Structure 1
Amino acid sequence: MPQGTLADIQGSYIIAQTPFDDRGAVDLTSIDSLADFYVGHGANGFVVLGVSGEGGKLTPDEAQSVTARFIARAGGRPVIVGVSNPGTAQLALLAKQAMDQGAAGVMIAPPGGLRTEEDLLGYFSTVFGMIGDVPTVLQDFPGSTGVWMSVSSILKLIESHPQIQVVKEEDLPSLGKITRLREGGGRRVAILTGNNGLYLPQELGRGIDGPMAGFSHPEMLSGVWRLHSKGRVEEAHDLFDCYLPLLNYEAQGFWGVAARKEVMRRRGAIRHATMRMPGPKLGPQHMSELDLLVRRVERAVANRR
């Protein structure tokens, strides 16, 4: 059986950004303030070195430093580390390093190039044979990986590999797939969802355990989950609606991540909004758009009180 358990996790698991200084170097001090910002706004745990966290732009030494800093600042909250990699040997090394540093588990997505269910099952059999009993989040994100996993394939993976304790479901459309996974029987795993949280209220209605997403206002993610879990569904939707225009603006790939970082800089979470190259830079029009969106969010939230 796996070293620990993630199967019972619920709540808001933030896809953490990686802060850089104005020259593009990793800003470890801002990791402290960012982790405090996330926790102060209701985060139950973190995912580091994800796609939107710019994990692929870090050197191996930087990746270890970022992971260690988040774990040290998390106050005992689970930290999950993205270790997806085209090479299984490198993936296994990254997983070992993460667990040695005190991670609660790792997140793995299938690499591009897998075309059949046989390819998929064979790949994960190899991976789990190499990494052993490491609690794992299986990331289903064909929009990024190009690999489509059917519900039956995911259920086969869950039954074959007890290491899989969470499915991060962000195939689109997500709602029907969540329902089929929940109705599929077998061993229960947690289901968390991404896609920037754009469909969070509906996904909660389908039985997910919480969001695993990034947003410049993480209090929305935790607040909507908390209200919904208490049966206050209409209130959860009302809160979500306050943030939707800004949330939608941040759902523009890496342009959206740049916007997210800028908003979090304004909120004091990080010192600089830098994205490491290759990455977009916001222009004056983007800044004006953010001025308007943030102002409208603040007014909408204030009007709820």
Structure 2
Amino acid sequence: MTRLTEAASGVYVIAATPFTETGDIDFNSCDRMVDHYLAAGATGLTVLGIMGEAPKLTSDESAAIVRHIMKRVDGRVPIVVGASAPGFAQMQDLTARVMDMGAAGVMVAPPGSLRTDDQIVTYYMQVAEFLGETPFVLQDFPLVTGVQISVPALARIFNALPTAVCLKHEDWPGLAKITALRKEGTLNRRISILCGNGGVFLPEEMERGADGAMTGFAYPEMMAGVVENHRKGDMERARDLFDAYLPLARMEQQPGAGLAIRKYIMYRRGILASPALRKPGAPLDPLSRAEVDRLMARLEKRLKELN
């Protein structure tokens, strides 16, 4: 079993959870989705993330999704599983189950009740205690969690906990945070920094010292292309590619509608049999679908121009 380490890099796609129109899990679409992510250049997958509708799943459904994706991936890339939970008992139980299935590690976001650096550091100390030797990703997403994690707090956590191997960076604005964490002397080791927010700042994040992306934009090939061209030292090509996809990435970032847009794009691309969200969750209205269709057509035209 491959364990997540500080060397994690590339594109860890946040997997959507496909549903049928009646709200059942669509495992056939799940297979197509996994195949698409890997063909698009994903170096890892993250299952049961916030945009994977994890809170809408039962514990048995969560385990079934992980097991199914793990089987489809068949060891080709590491799998990270979102294990955030209101209590440590649930977190510990899910972690034990998915690690036994072969997961590489888990991702943990802070609960919204945390306010001070000491509270945040204490929480992650307890996370590490409950998870034991399991490596974990610290998800820093204040726009959703409401928890602001300072650079000094992150330094205390990563310097004290060897099982904290990766930061999922989704602060906004947050480019200065990447720079501060990469500054010599801030951390006692180099950790992996993978960025979210639908990839809308990915070129700048890579130049600031990020190792890649951990997010679920409906076109993961864009993120893989940006990361690969950055590695080659061709940021002009990376930015040209990024710019072509930016209108759709921006469209996906709308609060409340972003997941519906992402699933609709995946449906239009033939990856999902249905763009359905599990309730509560509303589909796109006809005008919004037409707007997305128009942007997809323009993207195809621009990609042909870029070869």
**TM (normalized to structure 2)?**
0.96
Identity of aligned residues (%): 44
Q: Which aligned pairs between 1:138-217 and structure 2 lie closer than 5 A?
A: 138-183=138-183, 184-217=186-219
Which residue of 2 is the match for residue 87 of structure 1? 87
Counterpart check, 1:62 vs 2:61 = yes
- Structure 1: distance between partners of 2:219 and 2:32: 15
C-alpha displacement of 1:185 = 3.3
Amino acid across the alignment from 2:8: I
- Structure 2: distance between partners of 1:208 and 1:122: 26
Which residue of 2 is the match for residue 129 of structure 1? 129
Contact 2:158/2:187, CA 8 A, preserved across alignment: no
> Root-mean-square deviation (CA), in Å?
1.1
- Structure 1: distance between partners of 2:237 and 2:4: 32
Which residue of 2 is the match for residue 287 of structure 1? 289
Amino acid across the alignment from 2:50: V
Which residue of 1 is the match for residue 239 of structure 2? 237
- Structure 2: distance between partners of 1:5 and 1:53: 20
Which residue of 2 is the match for residue 256 of structure 1? 258
Contact 1:45/1:74, CA 8 A, preserved across alignment: no
Farther-moved stretch of structure 1 (111-120 vs 31-40) = 111-120
Which residue of 2 is the match for residue 270 of structure 1? 272
Which residue of 1 is the match for residue 7 of structure 2? 8
- Cα deviation digits, residues 87-143 of structure 1 (max 9, x gap): 111111111111111110000011111121221122122221111010100111111
Farther-moved stretch of structure 1 (44-53 vs 125-134) = 125-134
Contact 1:136/1:165, CA 8 A, preserved across alignment: yes
- Structure 2: distance between partners of 1:4 and 1:21: 33
Which residue of 1 is the match for residue 299 of structure 2? 297
Q: Which aligned pairs between 1:34-53 and structure 2 lie closer than 5 A?
A: 34-53=33-52
SS in 2 for 1:12: strand
Amino acid across the alignment from 2:155: L
Contact 1:18/1:53, CA 8 A, preserved across alignment: yes
C-alpha displacement of 1:280 = 1.8
Contact 1:111/1:147, CA 8 A, preserved across alignment: yes
Contact 2:229/2:238, CA 8 A, preserved across alignment: yes
> Which of structure 1's runs of 4+ aligned residues deviate more than 6 A?
none
Which residue of 1 is the match for residue 110 of structure 2? 110
Contact 2:159/2:187, CA 8 A, preserved across alignment: no
- Structure 1: distance between partners of 2:100 and 2:125: 22
Stretches of structure 1 that go unaligned for 5 or more consecutive residues are none
- Structure 2: distance between partners of 1:92 and 1:81: 12
Which residue of 1 is the match for residue 222 of structure 2? 220
Contact 2:3/2:78, CA 8 A, preserved across alignment: no
Contact 2:114/2:120, CA 8 A, preserved across alignment: yes
- Structure 2: distance between partners of 1:201 and 1:5: 24
Farther-moved stretch of structure 1 (49-58 vs 121-130) = 121-130
C-alpha displacement of 1:258 = 0.7
- Structure 2: distance between partners of 1:70 and 1:96: 17
Stretches of structure 2 that go unaligned for 5 or more consecutive residues are none
Contact 2:10/2:42, CA 8 A, preserved across alignment: yes
